[in-house]
A and B are shown apart, each in its own frame.
Chain A
């Protein structure tokens, strides 16, 4: 175990102990199967001339004078890969920002660890000891601290909690409080809006389609559109599929028509049809703000069967608040909440515990009317039906009010009121 700052500048000698140069930098690469980058090469400063050699010919990096395994005249040269990272040039001293996009600390040092002949970057040193080591005061501080019996603590962040966003000099690291995949979509969205365009594009690439879709749903439509414009068509279509159909439709309405058509045609048929259907409604009508993610059950099954059916058909619905009861032609007959379902006798029929006085809105009703109905009857969502009372979608309270209370204002409300 050693630190990058300790070995930089050390003398490198060949097999016979002849002077070769000074250690200037290490080159490492992240590999998909392992979260810590592996050191592949060493940059040597040969009296002003830089030479990059493979790590495999270095006998031991942690010796006071680093010996190579070959003679000075047959030192091989390492060919750089695109995703190679210079540890000193590109990582040391770089800014680390937390999940809120706030600057927290800089990389003070890097800890290296050797396992079975392979050298890994294990930790990022972000503590005071890292700074002291860099200025050569570590030993003195240790001596003083042990003399005064003050315990010194290192402050490390494991490399797998850090993400490289960028490979040139402007690269930054990221330390999420939790690991990145566990982040709440709203937090991801906040990071996205803090990063500049180029960085956010790379950040989006590092996430899976599901995460991107969730994060996109949390940001404003025009920002969604600019992020979408950075993605290639295939990926954009995949992301749109994973988004709520109403969000996807809003977003598609925002981008140039030609690309919008192209993206819809690349989407899976089922999702594409939903989105196409939604796009036919005016933006500020019930049809325009509704989502087609809702659960329906027939009236003549038991509560027990209904739960089983919902498990099979409604598992991918994000906000399952109400279950709607329809006939085979999807004419709306009634509604019940999940609470009703849980407290119903397992053997009782759906038609017996459902509420048949369903409040509905029409596809072309204005958003304000929808919001009024939702607030008046204190609903969490209201179904949208067409002329024949066939269910088309639902508008959630959140979406209905969203259109009336400006988003910025809503964000300022205490969480309780949201």
Chain B
């Protein structure tokens, strides 16, 4: 009798766990994809430079970045799930046409810049596989275009989640590099093991800010909101979505850890300087072996693909929301024409710039970073204002702690992005 009762309870225990897992899977996607796409090709390049130039101590920034990413992304996610509208929808409705046009223009230009950096990373990396660069970038643009225009929301989400798995490549590369795991983990808690000279500290500050700047971006803020709104997550699941946001932020920086470790254990230890982050895959080969280099390169290609899709989607979604046209991955091409055309045109423009123009990558990166630095404070202003608006958010309005904490985080990020831009000019 007693025994039976025990078994029954046990069974119920498993079924509730199972139900919770299923429930979680129903919201899973947007936040993880956004966070992982923050480690796009440009992100990998920045992390590689950071690891190569500064070694393990730069790892100290990762927990802080994770926290900032989690806090800012959570606001966008909560806003969307509760109001059932995207960030751009709400900016237009609450702040009018001028704000909408300004934010859209900033997003469009900065995003095309980001797309060009993705493509140039793909260009450099494809050489490691013996593919000539131009066909490689054309192929990746075509794939990105076909996946989005042919598929629906679910297909896109699943392809993106599959792409996230490729980030495992960095773990293998890191292990192949035979790093000093003790130094790596201890540096997560406090920076140690190097000679902290003043020139080292200067580089640390500049590169550290750069790392923060590539991880937390305006498009990331818009994308998480639009993608969650396209997924049509029910209000009741807001808690699970918040959980997913935190998980996504953690996963991203979990993989960033291995990227940095892979370059720190090889390039920093052997004092090899990288002129650009895209070369990292080739540069680590002599130390970590050909396989590690190839895996690292595969990771960059995959990050480039994710970046292309997510960044151009974020512009297309934002346009649809700002100007009220139909824009959903579940819509047919005919119904959401503007949305899909804008998606494709951005890719095309970026492709042309990447292939033909002789504008240097550096100039594009400067332009992109500058616009992002201008747009980011506004994005946070809107996000914090909107999530603090009780008439919109009801019971899910920011509490004073959330409000002040998010303000502090935003100020930190904004200082970082302005600092990054300033450091380029001076």
Interface residues of A (CB under 8 A from B): 92-96, 100, 102-106, 108, 131, 134-135, 168-170, 196
Contact among A95, A96, A134, A169 with B89 in the assembled complex (CB-CB below 8 Å): A95
What's the Cα separation between A196 and B84 when bound, in Å?
A: 10
B97 CB within 8 Å of chain A: yes
Query: Are A105 and B325 also in contact (CB < 8 A) when A131-B101, A169-B391, A169-B392 are?
Result: yes
Tell me which of A92, A93, A104, A134 has the highest count of chain B C-beta atoms within 10 A of its own C-beta: A93
Q: Are A134 and B97 within 8 A (Cβ)?
A: yes
Residue of A nearest to B391 (CB): A169
What's the Cα separation between A108 and B323 when bound, in Å?
A: 9
Interface of A is mostly: loop
| A131 contact set on B, CB distance < 8 A | 97, 101
Tell me which of B93, B320, B331 has the highest count of chain A C-beta atoms within 10 A of its own C-beta: B93
Q: Are A103 and B320 within 8 A (Cβ)?
A: yes
The minimal Cβ–Cβ distance linking B106 to chain A, given in whole angstroms, is 15
Contact among A92, A96, A100 with B96 in the assembled complex (CB-CB below 8 Å): A92
Contact among A94, A103, A106 with B326 in the assembled complex (CB-CB below 8 Å): A103
B92 CB within 8 Å of chain A: yes
Q: Are B327 and A103 within 8 A (Cβ)?
A: yes
Tell me which of B89, B326, B331 has the highest count of chain A C-beta atoms within 10 A of its own C-beta: B326
Contact among A93, A100, A169 with B92 in the assembled complex (CB-CB below 8 Å): A93
Q: How does the 8 Å CB contact mask read for B300-324 relative to A, with 1 for contact and 0 for none?
A: 0000000000000000000010011
| A95 contact set on B, CB distance < 8 A | 89, 93, 324
Interface of B is mostly: helix
| With A103-B325, A135-B101 already in contact, 13 other A-B pairs whose C-beta atoms are closer than 8 Å | A92-B96, A93-B92, A95-B89, A95-B93, A96-B324, A102-B331, A104-B325, A106-B92, A106-B323, A106-B324, A131-B97, A169-B391, A196-B84
| A196 contact set on B, CB distance < 8 A | 84
Q: Are B320 and A93 within 8 A (Cβ)?
A: no
The minimal Cβ–Cβ distance linking A284 to chain B, given in whole angstroms, is 31
Q: Are B98 and A135 within 8 A (Cβ)?
A: yes
What's the Cα separation between A165 and B93 when bound, in Å?
A: 16
What's the Cα separation between A131 and B322 when bound, in Å?
A: 12
Query: Are A108 and B97 also in contact (CB < 8 A) when A102-B326, A102-B335 are?
Result: yes
| B331 contact set on A, CB distance < 8 A | 102
The minimal Cβ–Cβ distance linking A366 to chain B, given in whole angstroms, is 36
The minimal Cβ–Cβ distance linking B251 to chain A, given in whole angstroms, is 32
Q: Are B391 and A105 within 8 A (Cβ)?
A: no
What's the Cα separation between A187 and B324 when bound, in Å?
A: 21
Q: Which bucket holds chain B's interface residue count?
A: 10 to 19
What's the Cα separation between A96 and B101 when bound, in Å?
A: 18
| B323 contact set on A, CB distance < 8 A | 105-106
Q: Are B326 and A93 within 8 A (Cβ)?
A: no
Residue of B nearest to A90 (CB): B93
Q: Are A94 and B98 within 8 A (Cβ)?
A: no
What's the Cα separation between A131 and B391 when bound, in Å?
A: 27
Residue of B nearest to A170 (CB): B83
Q: Are B93 and A94 within 8 A (Cβ)?
A: yes
Q: Are A134 and B324 within 8 A (Cβ)?
A: no
Contact residues of B between 322 and 366, Cβ < 8 Å to A: 323-327, 331, 335
The minimal Cβ–Cβ distance linking B325 to chain A, given in whole angstroms, is 6
Query: Are A93 and B325 also in contact (CB < 8 A) when A106-B92, A169-B391, A196-B84 are?
Result: no
The minimal Cβ–Cβ distance linking A164 to chain B, given in whole angstroms, is 15
Residue of B nearest to A169 (CB): B391
Contact among A103, A135, A170 with B324 in the assembled complex (CB-CB below 8 Å): A103
| B101 contact set on A, CB distance < 8 A | 131, 135
Residue of B nearest to A101 (CB): B326
Q: Are B98 and A93 within 8 A (Cβ)?
A: no
| B93 contact set on A, CB distance < 8 A | 93-95, 169
What's the Cα separation between A103 and B338 when bound, in Å?
A: 12
What's the Cα separation between A314 and B84 when bound, in Å?
A: 47
| B84 contact set on A, CB distance < 8 A | 196
The minimal Cβ–Cβ distance linking B68 to chain A, given in whole angstroms, is 30
Query: Are A134 and B96 also in contact (CB < 8 A) when A103-B320, A169-B392, A196-B84 are?
Result: yes
The minimal Cβ–Cβ distance linking B83 to chain A, given in whole angstroms, is 8
The minimal Cβ–Cβ distance linking B152 to chain A, given in whole angstroms, is 15
Tell me which of B97, B323, B331, B391 has the highest count of chain A C-beta atoms within 10 A of its own C-beta: B97
The minimal Cβ–Cβ distance linking B367 to chain A, given in whole angstroms, is 24
| B83 contact set on A, CB distance < 8 A | 170
| B324 contact set on A, CB distance < 8 A | 95-96, 103-106
| B326 contact set on A, CB distance < 8 A | 102-104
Contact among B97, B327, B392 with A135 in the assembled complex (CB-CB below 8 Å): B97
4 A-B pairs with the lowest CB-CB distances in the bound complex, closest first: A106-B324, A134-B97, A102-B326, A103-B326
Residue of A nearest to B101 (CB): A135
Tell me which of A106, A108, A170 has the highest count of chain B C-beta atoms within 10 A of its own C-beta: A106
What's the Cα separation between A155 and B323 when bound, in Å?
A: 14
What's the Cα separation between A196 and B327 when bound, in Å?
A: 18
Residue of A nearest to B323 (CB): A106
What's the Cα separation between A100 and B328 when bound, in Å?
A: 14
What's the Cα separation between A168 and B324 when bound, in Å?
A: 19
17 intermolecular pairs with C-beta atoms under 8 Å apart: A93-B92, A93-B96, A94-B93, A95-B89, A100-B335, A102-B331, A103-B320, A103-B326, A105-B323, A105-B324, A106-B324, A131-B97, A134-B96, A134-B97, A135-B101, A168-B391, A169-B391
What's the Cα separation between A102 and B339 when bound, in Å?
A: 13
What's the Cα separation between A130 and B98 when bound, in Å?
A: 12
Residue of A nearest to B83 (CB): A170
Residue of B nearest to A94 (CB): B93
| A135 contact set on B, CB distance < 8 A | 97-98, 101
What's the Cα separation between A235 and B386 when bound, in Å?
A: 39
The minimal Cβ–Cβ distance linking B235 to chain A, given in whole angstroms, is 10
| B320 contact set on A, CB distance < 8 A | 103
What's the Cα separation between A135 and B102 when bound, in Å?
A: 10
Q: How does the 8 Å CB contact mask read for B355-399 relative to A, with 1 for contact and 0 for none?
A: 000000000000000000000000000000000000110000000
Q: How does the 8 Å CB contact mask read for B75-98 relative to A, with 1 for contact and 0 for none?
A: 000000001100001001100111
The minimal Cβ–Cβ distance linking B342 to chain A, given in whole angstroms, is 14
What's the Cα separation between A103 and B326 when bound, in Å?
A: 4
What's the Cα separation between A100 and B323 when bound, in Å?
A: 18
Residue of B nearest to A98 (CB): B326
Residue of B nearest to A8 (CB): B96
Q: Are B98 and A134 within 8 A (Cβ)?
A: yes
| A103 contact set on B, CB distance < 8 A | 320, 324-327
| A94 contact set on B, CB distance < 8 A | 93
What's the Cα separation between A135 and B331 when bound, in Å?
A: 31
Residue of A nearest to B93 (CB): A93
What's the Cα separation between A105 and B89 when bound, in Å?
A: 12
